[in-house]
């Protein structure tokens, strides 16, 4: 990667004479691994000894790694010759495999939920077991959960609008589409935080229902936050004119990820909130 890309948005020439991209030596995979390990260690220490310093240090290392690593990736994307057609194809395959791994991640949560929902006798150990367990108060699926469903579906249309605007070379429309998508993502996260604050059950000591509920919906909420940050970076890049009708895979990857988040939420709403509700709060 050319050194004169530092601090500049202009495209420079990589000087490569072949279509493949040889990755420059980078410290970020190592620092990312160390930060992830320190974060996991910090979770254990915080849980047992209520000392949050290792956890905070691990999160700082992870966030710093993300910032500097993605900064280098953005510089790569502006270096002519590095992202050749073969490399861009590899990036697409890489994003597809990443989303596939995320699908299997959520399959595990749905598997756990349906295992206990369809065969509650495996865990409850009582006569005539029910799901949710007797006495469990659940959310009204057509209150905040339904509103959040509409918000995410609307955000899918705005991000698609931004995509078509980029393809058609309409910079202003693309930026507005991304801004609306980011605002909708922030709205979803805010409403989910309100929902959690009003939850009639807690993660700790709430039993198997609360565990599966908070793990599935909480990790989805975490993915929404990541996707919102992803799209925020794309908004800044689009406003800087870094996306063209021919070269905008950074945005495409963010859009794929966002649509994946939308689909997962639809399954969560239908299976966990709607099909899996018992005695609704307020009844």
Domain ranges for the chain: 21-82, 86-280
Paired tokens of 46:
């915080």
Q: How many helices (H) and strands (E) does the chain have?
A: 8, 4
Neighbours of 14 (CB within 10 A): 17
Paired tokens of 267:
């399954």
pTM of the model: 0.81
Domain 86-280, CATH class in plain words = mainly alpha
Average pLDDT over residues 238-255: 91
Average pLDDT over residues 90-118: 91
CA–chain centroid gap for 262, Å, is 10
SS3 state of residue 26: coil
pLDDT of residue 123: 66
User: pLDDT for 7-62, tens place per residue?
Assistant: 444 445 555 566 666 677 889 999 999 999 999 999 899 878 889 999 999 999 99
Residue, of 154 and 215, whose pLDDT is higher: 154
Of 39-48, 115-124, 181-190, minimum mean pLDDT range: 115-124
* Percentage above 70 pLDDT, the chain: 86
Say if 21-82 and 86-280 have the same CATH topology. Answer: no
Q: What is the CATH number of domain 21-82?
A: 1.10.287.70
Distance of alpha carbon 149 from alpha carbon 218, whole angstroms: 15
SS3 state of residue 279: strand
Integer-rounded Cα radius of gyration of the chain: 22
- Output the CA torsion 17→20→24→29 (10° steps): 180
SS3 state of residue 80: strand
User: pLDDT for 247-257, tens place per residue?
Assistant: 888 999 999 99
User: Could you check whether the bond before residue 132 is cis, i.e. omega within 30 degrees of 0?
Assistant: yes
Paired tokens of 127:
């006569």
Residue 139 — very low, low, confident or very high, per pLDDT cuts 50/70/90? confident
CA–chain centroid gap for 90, Å, is 21
Residue pointed to by tokens 């890309």: 5
């Amino acid at each position: 990667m050319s050194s004169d890309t530092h601090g500049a948005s202009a495209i420079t020439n990589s000087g490569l004479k072949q279509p493949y991209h040889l990755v420059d030596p980078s410290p970020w995979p190592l620092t990312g691994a160390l930060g992830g390990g320190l974060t996991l260690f910090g979770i254990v220490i915080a849980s047992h000894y209520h000392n949050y310093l290792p956890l905070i240090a691990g999160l700082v290392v992870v966030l710093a790694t993300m910032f500097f690593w993605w900064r280098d990736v953005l510089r790569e994307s502006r270096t002519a010759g590095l992202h050749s057609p073969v490399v861009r194809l590899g990036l697409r395959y890489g994003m597809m495999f990443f989303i596939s791994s995320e699908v299997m991640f959520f399959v595990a949560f749905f598997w756990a939920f349906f295992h206990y929902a369809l065969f509650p006798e495996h865990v409850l150990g009582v006569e005539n077991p029910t799901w949710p367990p007797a006495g469990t108060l659940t959310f009204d699926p057509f209150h905040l959960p339904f509103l959040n469903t509409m918000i995410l579906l609307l955000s899918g249309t705005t991000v698609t609008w931004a995509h078509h605007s980029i393809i058609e070379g309409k910079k202003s429309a693309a930026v507005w589409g991304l801004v609306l998508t980011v605002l909708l993502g922030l709205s979803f996260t805010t409403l989910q935080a309100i929902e959690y604050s009003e939850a009639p059950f807690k993660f700790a000591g709430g039993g198997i229902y609360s565990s599966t509920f908070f793990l599935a919906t909480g990790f989805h909420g975490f993915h929404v936050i990541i996707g919102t940050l992803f799209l925020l970076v794309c908004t800044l890049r689009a406003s800087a004119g870094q996306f063209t009708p021919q070269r905008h895979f950074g945005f495409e990857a963010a859009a794929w990820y966002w649509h994946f988040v939308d689909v997962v939420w639809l399954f969560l709403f239908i299976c966990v909130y709607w099909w899996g509700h018992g005695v609704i709060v307020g009844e």
